[in-house]
Amino acid sequence: MPRTREQLEKALADTEAWLDGLDPNELASPDSDAADLRAIGEALRAVAASDLALAEQVAKANHC
């Protein structure tokens, strides 16, 4: 599914806001594995950044 630059930037911002809104005390509980959650967040950021870079390169190629 193609995404616009604005959609990718919003998805990244929404993900970061969601991660920032998590309760550190809840994540610190013995029943929580925050490492997995952090890895998911890092993967989401990498995917969004990659999608954004691809969209920028396609836009450049279209203007040549």
To which residue do tokens 């870079």 refer?
Answer: 53
Domain boundaries, the chain: 5-62
**pLDDT digits over 6-62, tens only?**
888 888 889 889 888 888 777 677 777 777 778 888 998 899 899 899 999 999 999
Any idea what the Cα angle at residue 15 is, between residues 45 and 6, rounded to 5°? 80
HEC string of the chain equals CCCCHHHHHHHHHHHHHHHHCCCHHHHCCCCCCHHHHHHHHHHHHHHHHHHHHHHHHHHHHHCC
Biggest CA-to-CA distance, the chain: 55
Give residue 2's pLDDT.
Answer: 57
To which residue do tokens 């998805």 refer?
Answer: 11
Q: Model pTM?
A: 0.50
